[in-house]
Amino acid sequence: MQILGLILIGIVIGVLARLVLPGRQHIGVLMTILLGIGGAVVGGVVASAIGEGDIFELNFVGTVVGIIAAVAMIAGAEALGVGADRKPAPRQPGRRTR
């Protein structure tokens, strides 16, 4: 059950990290989830190390550190060119873009 909780908070942390980063990221949904889970693990380890709870325990410090770690991981993935070969979504005829 703890792994499921880690995956769910990882998804939330990954989405929040993408919202925090300015501009468009070229990584996909799966990479966002994986980096979010990585951020959640880092946040849990840091929170556990400073005595704020267990690694799998949802707490404020772990969540904030997890978001910061996920932002750093997503920015690092962008800097390394992960997802750079993805094509933009095709424009549909008759639709205007702003």
Q: How many domains does the chain have?
A: 1
89 lies in some domain: no
- What pLDDT shows up at residue 90? 66
94 lies in some domain: no
74 lies in some domain: yes
pLDDT digits (tens, 9 = 90+) for 29-68: 899 999 999 999 999 899 989 988 777 777 888 889 999 9
- 29-49 helix and 2-20 helix, angle to the nearest 10 degrees: 110
Per-residue pLDDT, averaged over 5-33, amounts to 89
Domain residues for the domain of 21 are 2-80
50 lies in some domain: yes
Q: Which of 8, 24, 9 is nearest to 64 (CA)?
A: 9
Two structure tokens written together for 52: 């704020």
- What pLDDT shows up at residue 6? 84
Q: How far apart are CA 81 and CA 63, in angstroms?
A: 27
25 lies in some domain: yes
86 lies in some domain: no
pTM of the model: 0.78
